[in-house]
Structure 1
Amino acid sequence: MERGELRGGVVVRAIRAEEWQRVRELRLEALRDPVAELAFLETYEEVAVKPDSFWEGRAAGAAEGTRERQQFIAETAGGEWVGTVVVLLEEAGSLDVFGGVVEREQAHVVGVFVRPGYRGGAAGVTGALFEAALEWAWAAGVERVRLFVHDRNARAEAFYRKAGFVVSGVALPGPAGVGGRELEYVVERRV
């Protein structure tokens, strides 16, 4: 599932299972980002020690053609991965990543990361990643996509609003040691 080329030769596509080492590399870089404690539920220290089998399974479970989740990456013409987003399908009655019960069938965007040199630039990497994520979710048949953002992550909140997401009114406590709140943002499928 490859998307059209963006400015600067960047292409958005789904990962392939055999790319697990690159999935690991990009995730570890994301977890070293200055706002990682606000943006991710995992820490670098927790996942850096995971065995190869963990990363192989993670990539296989989110690779092109999977039904439950899909990971998209933005890749330069030279093969560098410069951003990623993961979309999880949530079934009504299942538990979400926070341990809460999912009330309706929907998709959940997680793991958003774009390398600093590609954020907010003319190439539109983050927007293209979200376009791919939403297109995949809508094709899976959901009518609603959600994500959570820490109330101190103003840069992310601004992008999500620009991408059409609105605050739902649901708020959860922020990660232990970080405080604050995780705000749910949603977008409904436009028919």
Structure 2
Amino acid sequence: MAYVIRPVKAEEWRRLRELRLAALADPVARVAFNETLEEAAGRPDELWQRRAACSEEGVAPLTFIGEAADGRWGGMVVVLVETGEEVPQTHLVGVYVRPEHRGAGLARELFRAALGWSWELTEPVVERARLWVHEENGRAAAFYRALGFVETGRTGADPKDPAALEREMVLTRE
């Protein structure tokens, strides 16, 4: 299946909200996201409007979506910019592909767009992209490794379950 990968447009904020809520309702969401469905559903419309507007303006947080030929959104990835770390970097979050779109290469296309945007930044010039993956999300970790991400050895507690760990993975700009 072919997808158009693009940033969300400001007027599409309701669709962005719907996709995020669908992601959080997915059974794997308990390990893939730090936010709960209830938290996201309670967020005001202004938050979703602001997120969509940032994406259309091409500034972080920027949400890329994969749009199928029938207009349905198959998945997304959000890119944040972090300048307070060792090196300027982007942080990829909110990665989600709807079950019926999995296995079609959409996740790879979304990452290609997010990383391409990251490497094109001029202020700041980004040296690496990072993400966190839950220790129970082996499928996602394997996908990230296939893209070239490596574990840094840094871990953090899952905000929803302090007994569980998330592992940092990075991809350094070539």
Q: Which amino acid aligns with 1:139?
A: E
Distance 1:52 1:173 in 2: 30
Provide the secondary structure at the position in 1 that maps to 2:56: coil
RMSD between superposed Cα atoms in Å? 1.3
Residue number among 90, 109, 113 corresponding to 1:107 in the alignment: 90
Displacement after TM superposition at 1:178 (Å): 6.5
Residue number among 91, 115, 119 corresponding to 2:83 in the alignment: 91
Displacement after TM superposition at 1:143 (Å): 1.3
Provide the secondary structure at the position in 2 that maps to 1:64: helix
Q: Does 1:172 align with 2:172?
A: no
- Confirm or deny: 8 A CA contact 1:90 1:107 kept in the other structure: yes
Higher mean displacement: 179-188 or 47-56: 47-56
- Confirm or deny: 8 A CA contact 1:37 1:178 kept in the other structure: no
Tell me what 1:185 maps to.
169
Higher helix share: 2
Q: Which amino acid aligns with 2:93?
A: V
Q: Does 1:69 align with 2:71?
A: no
Note closer, same or farther for the CA distance 1:68–1:9 as it changes in structure 2 (3 Å cut).
closer
TM-score, length of structure 2 as denominator length? 0.93
Tell me what 1:97 maps to.
none
Q: Which amino acid aligns with 1:24?
A: R
Residue number among 139, 142, 146 corresponding to 2:126 in the alignment: 142
Q: Does 1:60 align with 2:53?
A: yes
Q: Which runs of 5+ in 2 are unaligned?
A: none
Tell me what 1:16 maps to.
9
Deviations 1:40-81 (A, max 9, x none): 1110001112222221122123x1333333110000111000
Displacement after TM superposition at 1:117 (Å): 1.5
Q: Which amino acid aligns with 1:132?
A: A
Deviations 1:117-163 (A, max 9, x none): 11123xx1000000000000000121100000001001111110111
Tell me what 1:161 maps to.
145
Aligned pairs, number: 171
Provide the secondary structure at the position in 1 that maps to 2:57: coil
Runs of 4+ in 1 over 2 A off after TM superposition: 64-69, 175-179
Tell me what 1:129 maps to.
110
Q: State, as a whole percentage, how many aligned pairs show the same letter.
A: 50
- Confirm or deny: 8 A CA contact 2:8 2:64 kept in the other structure: yes
